[in-house]
Structure 1
Amino acid sequence: MDTVEGLFDVSDEHKRDLLEALQVLSALQGDSPSLDELLVAARINCISKIEVYFLQDPSQLRQPLNLRNEAAAVSLLLGHYGSRRSRSSGDPAQAALLAALAEYSRKLWPELASGDVAVSSGSGSGSGSGLDGSSSSGQPEQQAAQLPRGQAAPPGSPGADFEAWAREQGVAAAISLASFGSLRGCAASRDVAPGEPLLSIPADVLIYEDSVKGTDLGRMLHAIPDLTIDNLLVLFTMIDRHDEDSRWARYWHSLPDKYYTGISFPQPLVDSLAGTAAHLELARAQQHLQDQYAATRPLFDMLLTAYPQFLKPEWFDYDCYLWAAELWYSYAFEVEFPAETPKGAAAAAAGPKSGASAASRGKGTKGKGSGSKAKRSGSKASSLAAGTAVAGVSGSSSSGGGSSSSKPVMVPFACHINHSPWPHCVRYGRLNPKTRTLDYPAFRPCQAGQQVFISYGPVPNLKLLCYYGFVVPHNPHDLVPLQLEPPEGPLKQQQLAAMEALGLGLEHSLQDGPLSKQLLACLRLIVATSAELQLVVKHKVDPLAGAIAPENEDQALRTLEAALVELLAPLELLPLLLEEDLPAEAGAVEGAEARQADVSAAGGSSGGGNDGETAPAQEQAEGALEQLHLQGAAAAASGSMSQEAAAGQHQEGGSMEAKPQQQQQQQQQDQCNENGFDADWHMSRRFCKIYLQGQHHILQRSLQECRRLLRP
């Protein structure tokens, strides 16, 4: 069997400790590791920092830790062994392992429940039984057949024209743009099996620092002194989107005219989140962007003065700057590039059609900068990376060795794929050094017409709301940030020193689950006496392993209890959280909650369809966000519909209420743009409420957990 050397990252000390604790490191160094051992190693390799933070015991990794981690682990193994299929055709053990892995991937996701669910049984080995030992033969295909199919972009539309352009550029796609109600996404254009690519995009199609510098406009902008990469990309986008001769013109045309991320929320909507982490983050992000624009305004004026025949003042107003910034925040990916990039690759990115931009075509001169430099405020919004999607790439066998660099990249086509915690693709963040393509392999099957999802990573609703404009109901990766601070006094410096020695910080998080060991350890140190701190310093007790002393433990938990009560009190008074949903919205939420309850009661699936078959829980959850968009569109349209009814503007043959359902749904969808948002912010307001509900739920769950530990 082929060696697995280089497949897993054993240079990370913490990951290596986990491998040794679970006794799989020696198995990896042998000739024939089992599928179970490979899955454990892959879970460790793909574990994120926040997943390590909440890990209670290494033994949890013998089973699927959560949906995202398992997806990344399976995808890593499929990519490694699938690429060796041809070379191992004569190796029966290798072929058997690959077959077992493919079977595990096929059966895994229909068996997992919605949310952050750990599976309690083994990985299976292609025996024909499900994860719980029951037969699941044929169910995935039958269940997938019940999912709604997307409607392709109509001929002549910007979406259809973009797809034609992508094919001309050499993009290999097993997906196509499609509408799912009022929400645009991507649908599989054919049946896709685990390990097959959903997308394969040549490097010269990507929009990033190097390819931008390969254009005349990019070279001119790059020559401006002190222009940051962030501003280079935003400024290039603001100008290039208006250049009909740009190589990416047909891509720009496929994008929405407006984004509805948290960065552009109106002030009343921001204020509706008062007292929450989202309110603080949105206030910082919006102020930062306004400061960036003000600092860059002299540069815009300089360009307009230098190129009045090519540039228009309306291209540089704040709304245009906001559009470009939101595009990069919400659509960009963080991509890892091989250390050695062939010379001329950046120039090749310009392509035969890029020519010069409207700003510099035929001029041959380089613009002079004003000397202004956009200042970073220090908030999370100070970099394009604040919103970029980051896929797990560590340990990928495609790295080719050597160091690499990670850059924010606009990826035409991939940017149209929607996010889900239950994705079809999770590992897409590294450029293939051999083919010079960015590949998006599926790790689970997807039938033709079914919506395809990718994962942006374990992203909490706070980040989704602020930088993408939406949230995920029942998001398994949702968090509540918690900032600790030792009280002022003679022991504060000793407490901080003890935390530093244990690798602990003061910034913590709460989840819909057990309290973090790091959080409890910090609380124990914050309330520790001088004598208790000495025990920790002398390594006689370990606050990460358990209580320092009974009195200390009681005080630590009561401190946390008081903090949680203090956080819950103002949250429960927010009008947005208290207000009742509109009927259409309530139906969506109740439906999602009912499905969630069914999933929990059924241990992973709820009834669906007329034939008695059970629908996979994560596929139902995938539809929850889509249904929220539809119901939000109904809420957005309800005001205008009521006005029409009051004015007697009924269609022939009946009132507004008597309209055929299809016609009414079309009117509702017309209120929304292709991303499912409406100009009156009804959908955004709904997402804000879901965010608040999630924060409230996590705080309540943490309070219950705290009190359970206080009174066992």
Structure 2
Amino acid sequence: MWVMVLDSKGEAADAISRAQAAAEVECSRKQRVLHNDNGGEFIAAEFMSYYADEGIQHHYSGEVVVTTIYILNRSPTKALDGRTPYEAWHGCKPVVSHLWVFGCLTFAKELGHISKLNDRSIPGVFIGYAEGSKAYRILDPKTQRVCMARDIVFDEGRGWAWDKVVDHGSASTYDDFTIEYVHFEGARGVGGCSLRMLENRNLSCEIQVPVTCSAADALKLLDQIIQAARVVYMDELELYFAGDNVGPFSARNELESLNLLFKTMKKLLLTSNAAAKEVLQILQDEIVVKLKSVGKSDDAWMVVQTQNHDAEDSLLKWGEHLGVKSKLQIAFFQGAGRGMVACESIGVGDIALEIPESLIISDELLCQSEVFLALKDFNNITSETMLLLWSMRERYNLASKFKPYFDTLPANFNTGLSFGIDTLAALEGTLLFDEIMQSKQHLRQQYDELFPLLCTDFPEIFRKDVCAWDNFLWACELWYSNSMMIVLSSAKLSTCLIPVAGLLNHSVSPHILNYGRVDEATKSLKFPLSRPCDAGEQCFLSYGKHPGSHLVTFYGFLPRGDNPYDVTPLDLDTSADDEDGTAQSVTTSQTTQMVRGTWLSRSGGFPTYGLPQPLLSHLRAALGCDIGESTTEADIKENDKVVLETILSIFNPMLEVLPEQDDSNRESASWDVKLSLDYKDLQRKIMSSIVTSCTSALEKF
């Protein structure tokens, strides 16, 4: 940092030139940018000529200062006990959803008549916020002029290429463009395990795509891009089971990866030249083709039933009257009950359903109710429990604003929480039995803590006939099976009921994947599609990454198709006894080992035999059967024989308690018996696949 004292403003040009010369000599680099406050001395003819002769970009530091103050006024500070200066002055929290990275690349919409191949936007640099309006201040580096605009696309991952602007101000052309998708909206970033996997597979999140490449070469590059995107979006479960597989790892992972790339291509298409757009369009079209193929088998199996749905139609009309926008209509499906189908073909990224925030049932709505006013200071009852109690009462409230919604809810949800005694007895020894029993015990304990105490203390609010155990269980099943985690416009994460949206059925390859935040601009919750949905096709929603036991317990169904989250955790001893009897610690990257159906694995032979690599590594270490560079082939076989026999000793007893089912009476059985039999069939299939894989491998030794 240099300080130069001037007698007058007229000495500024000479002082700047001397400072520039000294700086360039000391650091051996050419000065490219000069920041100033846009004072008269800096825009005089002498100075403007100096900028042009030296090839220096002229920036205004005044914009930096103004924008810095704008951000600081909206940032929490210790001086105000964590509040923002804006809040202290105006008495309300500032809106920050419109903030962007200072200096990032922008593209303002080009107005007027343009041809199909002309650029549809003007590039610029974001330098601040317009005072008194919702516009942004954008610097055009070519003309050095600042303009205000609203219709802007921001590319926060890039800045202006100052060193690629020639003297007369025209931007240089590029021979290729970069797809660097991990930093775009929706990507979680690359963690340590994912980064190692990218490196091991020679993949990158930044890929150069030449604009001159052929369609065939572009599609080859797309395969590499998709493989890297899959790794970026892998969750812990997929990392555990991945092995050397290049994907797809799951339908959900494939949808997340392809959607990230679709959004990336869409953004690049807005800002690229004609040559790049041609290649990008090829890539985007192929991504859409791949998205259409995800879950196609899932779309065809459900048969539409003819059934009266007047109550559901009334719900839609009620919602539309209050601002609901929908491209879906209600239908009934054999084996699944209610669902929603597309009224028209809906594309990737299009909004299938939009629900006003005013119709969302959350704890913010609860604050206006009698239940909240009565219980807000009562024995630390949580807002979730208050919502249960509110639902019990609202179900019978004829004057309720939400009466059309409650009228469409079933009298019985038929989840695992309502399983009969005989059905539970048949499930004993399974994961499902443990999950249901623990959940029912928790709910019964919660009910006994609330009643009859509340009926005694608040008899006008909690009538005994309304507060029976069956009604409490009904409210619990309602919230378990229909609630969604939503970030409201207040930025609060809440468990909510969403009228109309609750009619959507679940799938392991859903059309609607991400929907968890209320749009601050429209104050509505939007449900965009992650894969296309044709007219007349059922539109599926994701309920989350759940195993079959969870879906049966809290939702009352098993999903069709392969569920990658149907895993069996293993409680294995993590130590091995040394020869002297002392326990030796076995260090592994995973503290929990697990298995799932080996049909989901693409490797059936050595070295994994269709089993997860972390499990085998753990057992090899625990049993002293590690494979090293000097281990002979005979020793490898002998060691793996010990490992596979150990696995069989674990799973053969588990398989024995799951005998083949007698299907002769299944069709006439009650709903809970059918569901329990389906679950036991699934568990037997998983255990049998593991036993078969181990047995087949041992037979080859």
| TM-score w.r.t. length of structure 2 | 0.63
Pairing 1:517-532 to 2, within 5 Å after superposition: 517-528=613-624
The equivalences for 1:75-474 within 5 A come to 75-79=259-263, 81-82=265-266, 84=267, 87-88=270-271, 93-94=276-277, 96-97=279-280, 100-106=283-289, 108-110=291-293, 114=297, 154=309, 157-181=310-334, 183-215=337-369, 217-302=371-456, 305-308=457-460, 310-336=461-487, 341-342=489-490, 406-474=493-561
Aligned partner of residue 226 in structure 2, secondary structure = helix
- Residue 163 of structure 1: SS of its match in structure 2? helix
1:483 match: 570
Letter in 2 for 1:93: A
The secondary structure found in structure 1 opposite 2:598 is coil
> What's 1:397 paired with?
none
Task: Choose from 671, 677, 680 the match for 1:683.
Answer: 671
Residues 3 and 31, structure 1, Cα contact 8 Å, conserved in 2? no
The answer on whether the counterparts of 2:575 and 2:586 sit within 8 Å (CA) in structure 1 is no
The letter of the residue matching 1:528 is G
Given residue 237 of structure 2, which amino acid in structure 1 is its aligned partner?
A: I
**Displacement after TM superposition at 1:176 (Å):** 1.8
Report the alpha carbon displacement of residue 29 of structure 1 after superposing the two structures with TM: 8.8
Residue-by-residue CA offset, 1:50-77 (whole Å, 9 max, x unaligned): 22221112xx33x423323212322333
One-letter code of the match for 1:56? G
- Per the TM alignment, residue 711 of structure 1 is displaced from its structure 2 partner at its CA by 4.1
Aligned-residue offset at 1:186: 0.9
What percentage of aligned pairs have identical amino acids?
24
How has the CA–CA distance of structure 1 residues 166 and 37 changed in structure 2, closer, same or farther, with 3 Å as cutoff? farther
Give the match for residue 184 of structure 2.
6
Q: How far is the alpha carbon of 1:184 from its aligned partner? A: 1.2
Using the TM superposition, give the Cα deviation of residue 456 of structure 1 relative to its aligned residue in structure 2, in angstroms. 2.4
Contact in 2 for aligned 1:153/1:178 (Cα 8 Å): no
User: How many Å separate the matches in 2 of 1:153 and 1:159?
Assistant: 9
Deviation of the 1:101 alpha carbon: 2.8
Whole-angstrom distance in 2 between the partners of 1:73 and 1:100 = 14
Structure-2 change in CA distance of 1:25 and 1:164 (3 Å): same
Distance in 2 (alpha carbons) for counterparts of 1:554 and 1:201: 58
Instruction: Provide closer, same or farther for how the CA distance between residues 86 and 96 of structure 1 changes in structure 2, counting only shifts above 3 A.
Output: closer
Query: For 1:501-535, what per-residue CA distance to the aligned partner results, in whole angstroms no more than 9, with x for missing partners?
Result: x2222442322332111211222233238xx7xx9
Aligned length: 500
Post-superposition shift, 1:325? 0.7
In 2: Cα distance, 1:30 partner to 1:297 partner: 66
Contact 2:590 2:614 in 1 (8 A): yes
In structure 2, do the counterparts of structure 1 residues 442 and 112 end up closer, same or farther at CA, with 3 Å as the change threshold? closer
Residues 474 and 694, structure 1, Cα contact 8 Å, conserved in 2: no
Tell me: CA distance 1:416–1:99, structure 2 relative to 1, closer, same or farther (3 Å). farther
The 1:559–1:150 alpha-carbon spacing in structure 2 relative to 1, beyond 3 Å, is same
Q: What whole-Å deviation, never above 9, does each CA across 1:333-365 have from its counterpart, x for those lacking one?
A: 23345xxx54xxxxxxxxxxxxxxxxxxxxxxx
- Residues 438-494 of structure 1: CA deviation (Å, up to 9, x unaligned): 322223332333221123244322222111111135433263414233299855998
* Cross-structure match for 2:199: 20
Which residue does 1:51 correspond to in 2?
238
* Structure 1 position 696, deviation (Å): 0.8
Which position in structure 1 is the counterpart of 2:131? none
Partners of 2:389 and 2:595 lie apart in 1 by: 36
Tell me: higher relative CO, structure 1 or 2? Use CA pairs within 8 A at least 6 residues apart: 1
Q: Please say if 1:498 is aligned against 2:586.
A: yes
Deviations 1:291-347 (A, max 9, x none): 121122254324xx4242x5421211111110111111111123345xxx54xxxxx
Structure 1 residues 445, 555: CA separation in 2 closer, same or farther (over 3 Å shift)?
same
Stretches of structure 2 that go unaligned for 5 or more consecutive residues are 1-176, 212-217, 600-609
Which AA in structure 2 matches 1:686?
K
| Structure 1 residues 237-272: Cα deviation after superposition (integer angstroms, max 9, x where no partner) | 222333334332321221111111101101111111
CA separation in 2, counterparts of 1:490 and 1:64?
40
Change (3 A) 1:280 1:491: farther
Q: Is the 8 A contact 1:524 1:548 kept in 2?
A: no
Question: Are 2:578 and 1:578 aligned?
Answer: no
Q: Residue 150 of structure 1 contacts residue 451 of structure 1 at CA under 8 Å; is this kept in 2?
A: no
Kindly provide the CA deviation profile for residues 392-428 of structure 1, in whole angstroms up to 9, marking residues without a partner as x: xxxxxxxxxxxx7644222222211111223222222
CA contact (8 A) 1:278 1:462 kept: yes
What's the RMSD between the two structures over aligned residues?
3.7
Aligned to 2:250: 66
- Would the alpha carbon gap of residues 30 and 107 (structure 1) be closer, same or farther in structure 2, given more than 3 Å must change? closer
Which structure dedicates a bigger proportion of its chain to strand?
A: 2
| C-alpha distance in structure 1 between counterparts of 2:542 and 2:635, whole Å | 40
Q: Which amino acid aligns with 1:73?
A: S
Q: C-alpha separation between the residues in 2 aligned to 1:147 and 1:275?
A: 32
Matches within 5 A, 1:634-673: 635=668
TM-aligned CA distance change 1:79 to 1:244, over 3 Å: farther
Deviation, structure 1 residue 150: 6.2
The question of whether the paired residues in 2 share the 8 Å contact of 1:480 and 1:699 is answered with: no
For each residue in 1:155-183, what CA deviation from the matched residue of structure 2 results, as whole angstroms up to 9, or x when unmatched? xx321121112112322211122222472
Q: 1:510 pairs with 593, 596, 601, which one?
A: 596
- What is the rounded CA distance, in whole Å, between the counterparts of 1:80 and 1:248 in structure 2? 40
Q: Is this contact kept in 1: 2:327–2:343, CA < 8 A?
A: yes
Amino acid at match of 1:46: Y
CA distance in 2, matches of 1:152, 1:166: 21
Mark the CA change 1:113 to 1:177 in structure 2 (over 3 Å): closer, same or farther: closer
1:262–1:469 Cα contact (<8 Å) kept: yes
* Displacement after TM superposition at 1:190 (Å): 1.9
User: Which runs of 5 or more structure 1 residues have no equivalent in the other structure?
Assistant: 116-142, 343-403, 586-631, 637-681
Structure 2 Cα separation of the partners of residues 69 and 405 of structure 1: 27
TM-superposition CA deviations, 1:511-560 (whole Å, max 9, x none)? 2332111211222233238xx7xx9xxxx7999xx999655433222111
Specify the SS of the correspondent of 2:435: helix
Higher helix share: 1
- 1:567 matched to 2:660? The reply is no
Greater C-alpha radius of gyration: 2
Q: Return the alpha-carbon distance in structure 2 between the equivalents of residues 494 and 458 of structure 1.
A: 41
Picking from 646, 667, 682, the partner of 1:694 is 682
